[in-house]
Amino acid sequence: MDSCYTTGEQYYQELGLEQYGFSEEERHAICEFYDYYHTKKAENSYSSIIVPLSKERSAELMPHMESYLPDVCLLWEDGSNNYAGVYYKGVLSGKIMFLCHEGLRDTPLFRDISSLVQSMKAGLIRCFLNPFLSDSEYNCDYPAKSLSELERTQNFILAKEYLSNIQCKDEELDFQLALKAFYLLPAQNLDLLIPMIKLNNGIAYEAVDVFGFHNYQQVIPFLLDACENWHTNMKNYTKRIIDKMQTR
């Protein structure tokens, strides 16, 4: 990490982040984390592996992002080839995603930069592996247990749009659309995902995780019926999720 910048504002300008059109609030949050990191490093009290993306690393990565994830600006890394970035345009503008070596998941995990920054400063997020796959406490904003009425409405509309675009033609595209819908969909509307478990593929597997995360017990009869036609590993996994739901 290039630590020659003495302030977050200097870092922001040197990386040319003005081109992404961040709001003043987003700019402040980016600078806030850099200042926090720089101060803690100077005090030899910074214990996290998460660092602001250096100018050199940004110049190396961002040209690839133009064809890979053109709506995302990477801003942080964890030293293990995992990154966090922000959607700076499009319908997910402002939301945070993790890019990790486990595979592409462009799902929104935090509602905004400030939310992620506060979680990183508090030590709740210590790397950028997908936290939804971890057994540890879940500390991201999405999937959300509860939302304001405005967020619920906005996320419901967006999730429905993603689900409606699944065409069962391009498997990878369908998978990413489904994941984004699953993470955004309010818990009150999970019935929209029940048809997904009939697909008998990776999308169904992810749907099971979301149902388990929200403890959506209404889906248990459908899962029991569907998993009889699934391969052994997926069947056993689904039954473990069901057991957890029934014992909560």
For residue 228, is it left (φ>0), alpha (ψ between -120 and 50) or beta?
alpha
Domain shared by 121 and 176, yes or no: no
Tell me the pTM. Answer: 0.87
Q: Are 120 and 104 in contact (CB under 8 A)?
A: no
Domain shared by 120 and 155, yes or no: no
β partners of residue 74: 85
Q: 143 lies in a domain?
A: no
Range of the domain at 156: 149-247
Number of independent structural domains in the chain: 2
Domain shared by 129 and 12, yes or no: yes
In tens digits, what is the pLDDT along the chain, a chain of 248 residues? 445 788 999 999 999 999 999 999 999 999 999 999 999 998 989 889 999 999 999 999 888 888 888 999 999 999 888 999 999 999 999 999 999 877 678 899 999 999 999 999 999 998 998 777 666 678 999 999 888 999 999 999 999 999 999 887 788 888 899 999 999 999 999 999 998 888 767 888 889 989 999 999 999 999 999 888 888 888 888 999 899 888 87
Is the omega angle on the peptide bond into residue 186 within 30 degrees of 0, that is, cis? no
Question: d(Cα 83, Cα 80) in Å, to the nearest integer?
Answer: 9
Environment class of 232 (CB within 10 Å of its CB; exposed 0-12, middle 13-18, buried 19+): exposed
Domain shared by 128 and 153, yes or no: no
Q: Under DSSP, is residue 79 helix (H, G, I), strand (E, B) or coil? A: coil
CA 44, 24, 61, 70 torsion-angle sign: positive
Domain shared by 219 and 159, yes or no: yes
Q: 177 lies in a domain?
A: yes
Domain shared by 232 and 161, yes or no: yes
Domain shared by 127 and 181, yes or no: no
Domain shared by 155 and 129, yes or no: no
Q: 141 lies in a domain?
A: no
